[in-house]
Amino acid sequence: MKNKLIASFLAFENQISTETDTDFHKIRSRAMQAFEKKGFPTKKDENWKYTSLKKILKNDYTLFPDLPKNELELKEVSNYFLKGIDSYKIVFVDGVYNPYLSETTHDGFDVCLLSSAIKKTKYQIVLNHYFNTIVSDKDSFSQLNTAFASEGAFIHIYKNKIVEKPIQIVYFTTDTGKDCMLQPRNLIIVDENSQVKIVERHQSLSAKKVFTNAVTEIFANQRAHIDYYKIQNDEEDASLIDSTYVQQKKQSQVTMHTYSFGGALTRNNLFFYQKGPHCNTILNGITLIDKEQHVDNQTNVYHQSPDCESHELYKGIYDDKATGVFNGKVIVDQIAQKTDAFQQNDSILLSDESAINSKPQLEIFADDVACSHGCTIGQLDSNALFYMRQRGIPKKEAKALLLFAFTNELVDRIRIPALKELITNIVSQKLGVELGMDL
Partner 1 sequence: MLQIKNLHANIDDKEILKGINLEVKAGEVHAIMGPNGSGKTTLSSVIAGREDYIVTEGSITLGDENLLDMKPEERSHKGVFMSFQYPVAIPGVTVTNFIKTAINAKRKSEGKEDIPAAELLKMIREKAKLLGLKSSFLSRSLNDGFSGGEKKRNEIFQMAMLAPKLAILDETDSGLDIDALKTVAEGVNKLKSKDNAVIVITHYQRLLDYIVPDYVHVLSDGKIIKTGGKELALELEAKGYEWI
Partner 2 sequence: MPKKYTETELGQELQNKEYEYGFYTDIESDKFAIGLDESVVKAISKKKNEPQWMTDWRLEAFRIWKKMEEPDWANVSYEKPDFQGISYYSAPKKKPELASLDEVDPELLKTFEKLGISLDEQKRLTGVAMDIVVDSVSVATTFKKTLEEKGIIFCPISEAIEKHPDLVKKYIGSVVPRTDNFYAALNSAVFSDGSFCYIPKGIKCPVELSTYFRINEGGTGQFERTLLIADEGAYVSYLEGCTAPQRDENQLHAAVVEIIVHDDAEIKYSTVQNWYPGDSEGKGGVYNFVTKRAIAYTNAKISWTQVETGSAVTWKYPSCILKGDNSIGEFYSIAVTNMHQQADTGTKMIHLGNNTKSTIISKGVSAGKSQNSYRGLVKVVKNAKNARNFSQCDSLLMGNECGAHTFPYIEAHNTSAQIEHEATTSKIGEDQLFYCNQRGIDTEKAIALIVNGFSKEVLNKLPMEFAVEAQKLLELSLENSVG
Reduced to 3 states (helix: H, G, I; strand: E, B; else coil), residue 274 is strand
The whole-angstrom separation of Cα 1 and Cα 37 is 14
Q: Looking at beta carbons only, is 367 or 438 nearer to partner 2? A: 367
Choice between 202 and 329, CB closer to partner 2? 329
Residue 392's binding partner among partner 1, partner 2, none (Cβ under 5 to 8 angstroms by kind) is partner 1
What end-to-end distance do the CA atoms of the chain give, in Å? 55
Residue 307: CB atoms within 10 Å: 17
Residue 54 interacts with, from partner 2, partner 1, none (CB under 5-8 Å by kind): none
What CA–CA distance (Å, rounded) separates 77 from 72? 8
CA angle 303, 306, 307 (to 5 degrees): 100
Kindly identify the residues of this chain, within the stretch 61-80, that bind partner 2 according to CB under 8 A.
none
CA distance 61 to 208: 11
Type of residue numbered 351 = S
Q: Which does 407 bind (CB under 5 to 8 A by kind): partner 2, partner 1, none?
A: partner 1
Choice between 87 and 297, CB closer to partner 2: 297
Q: Smallest distance from the beta carbon of 298 to partner 2, in angstroms?
A: 14
Provide, rounded to whole angstroms, the least separation between the CB of residue 425 and partner 1: 13
Minimum CB–partner distance for residue 227 and partner 1 (Å): 20
The item of partner 1, partner 2, none sharing an interface with residue 409, based on CB under 5 to 8 Å by kind, is: partner 1
Interacting partner of 347 out of partner 1, partner 2, none (Cβ under 5 to 8 A depending on kind): partner 2
Give me the residues that bind partner 1 (CB under 8 A), please: 381-384, 386-395, 397-398, 401-402, 404-405, 407-409, 411-412, 434-439
- Window 374 to 403, contacts with partner 2 (CB under 8 A): 374-379
What are the residues facing 298 on neighbouring strands?
269, 327
Of the two residues 338 and 389, which places its CB atom closer to partner 1 in the complex? 389
Distant-in-sequence, close-in-space partners of 257: CB < 8 Å, separation ≥ 6? 227, 228, 229, 230, 284, 285, 410, 413, 414
Rounded-to-5 percentages of helix, strand, coil across the chain: 25, 40, 35
Tell me the C-alpha to C-alpha distance, in Å, between residue 354 and each of 299, 316, 349, 357, 378.
Answer: 22, 12, 6, 10, 12
Query: What, of partner 1, partner 2, none, does residue 218 touch, CB below 5 to 8 Å by kind?
Result: none
161 binds, among partner 1, partner 2, none (CB under 5 to 8 A by kind): none
**Treating both helix axes as pointing N-terminal to C-terminal, what angle do 23-38 and 2-16 enclose, rounded to 10 degrees?**
170
Judged by beta carbon, residue 19 or residue 368, the one nearer partner 2 is 368
To the nearest whole angstrom, how small is the minimum distance from the Cβ of residue 46 to partner 2? 7
Q: What residues between 320 and 359 interact with partner 2 by CB under 8 A?
A: 334, 337, 347, 349-359
Query: Which of the listed partners (partner 1, partner 2, none) does 395 bind, with a CB threshold of 5 to 8 Å by partner kind?
Result: partner 1
Between 108 and 378, name the residue whose CB sits nearer to partner 1.
378
**Spatial contact of 288 and 261, defined as CB atoms under 8 Å apart:** yes
Q: Three-state DSSP class for 37? A: helix
Tell me which residues touch partner 2 (CB under 8 A).
46, 50, 334, 337, 347, 349-379
